[in-house]
Amino acid sequence: MAPAPLPEARGPLSAAVRDVLLGAVTAPEVTVAGADPLGEDLQLALYLSYEPHYRALEGVADEREWDPALLGLRRPMEEAFLAALREAVPADADVDAALEPLLVEPVDGHGVSHRLMDEGDWDLMREYLVHRSLYQLKESDPQAWLIPRLEGQAKASLVAVAFDEFGGGHGERVHARLFADLMDGAGLDSSYGRYLDLAPASTLATVNVMSLFGLHRALRGAAAGNFAVLEITSPPGARRMAKALERLGAEERCVRFFTEHIEADAVHEQVMRRYVLGDLLSREPELAADVSFGIRATVWLDDRWADQVVSAWDAGRTSLRRPLTEG
């Protein structure tokens, strides 16, 4: 796999991370004090500090993955991001209450997939796919870090879900591969990381939260809650996206990614709720507040992203940092 391009910095934090990734012996003098924890600079810096755990970056040695200077930059950014999320969502240990809104399909939805299903054109569809490519081209990789942090039925059931996400033993059916096929069919570049420079902070945050939760054993409850949200909300959204693509006359390889999720994730929803979360909380009931936090933080970030995308479209603007034609 070709290394992903290293994007330009968006401020002092992301510039410092770039310097370290490219071989700086010591980390530049920067501070997160005063930085917007959800802003462009910090979110890109955090994303880049996580990326060596996933794939190669252009010009970045593999040894940078555990570079002390990189980790020293990352930790205060993680703390700022985590603090912002805890401030944004209510703190409670009621997992059922956190999940309940996700189990009912809104009668009159106004989200991104609703817009695309009802009236979106190919320009908006391609923007949507660019946003989603940051996660979907490494779909379920962040959640794989949760496997060694579980035991018993929770571990077995999570692995069963992951087995489907990674193609059920068939490389051509790995969900990340199916998304790349979708991008190719939509006339986009499916190279990993190709559109990172176009992704706004709200998009980066939805991926960063998965890495944050997955890489910290202390946040394993939040990681489980995050994964549950992805599986529970996937089928209805995938159904709308399949209809949108069919309305646009998309090729079968484009629609296949979403039809696969309609079928697979309907089962995954039950597995995640009953056997992953259920068994985890029976073993470690003290994690209920963390699970609830993971659910609520994930929903909050997804809603925030959707609001910004729809607002941009309503205003006749691109939802990306630059028009896709300039990317």
- The pLDDT tens digits of the residues spanning 37-73 come to 999 999 999 999 999 999 999 999 999 999 999 999 9
Lowest-pLDDT choice from 51-55, 100-104, 172-176, 180-184: 100-104
- The pLDDT tens digits of the residues spanning 233-283 come to 888 999 999 999 999 999 999 999 999 888 766 788 889 999 999 999 999
CB neighbourhood size of 312 (10 A): 16
What's the gap between Cα 144 and its chain centre? Answer: 13
How many whole angstroms separate alpha carbon 19 and alpha carbon 198? 20
Residue 150 has what DSSP assignment? -
Q: 35 — phi, psi (to 5°)? A: -80, 145
- Would you list the DSSP string of 230-261? HHHHHHHHHHHHHHHHHHTT--HHHHHHHHHH
Lowest-pLDDT choice from 174-183, 229-238, 283-292: 229-238
What pLDDT sits at residue 327? 64
pLDDT at 325 over 90: no
- What the chain holds in terms of domains, given with CATH numbers, is 12-88 (no CATH), 95-326 (1.20.910.10)
> In 204-278, where do the E strands start and end?
none
- The pLDDT tens digits of the residues spanning 7-28 come to 999 999 999 999 999 998 777 7
Name the residue with tokens 């917007």. 36
- Residues contacting 121, CB < 8 A, separation 6+: 248
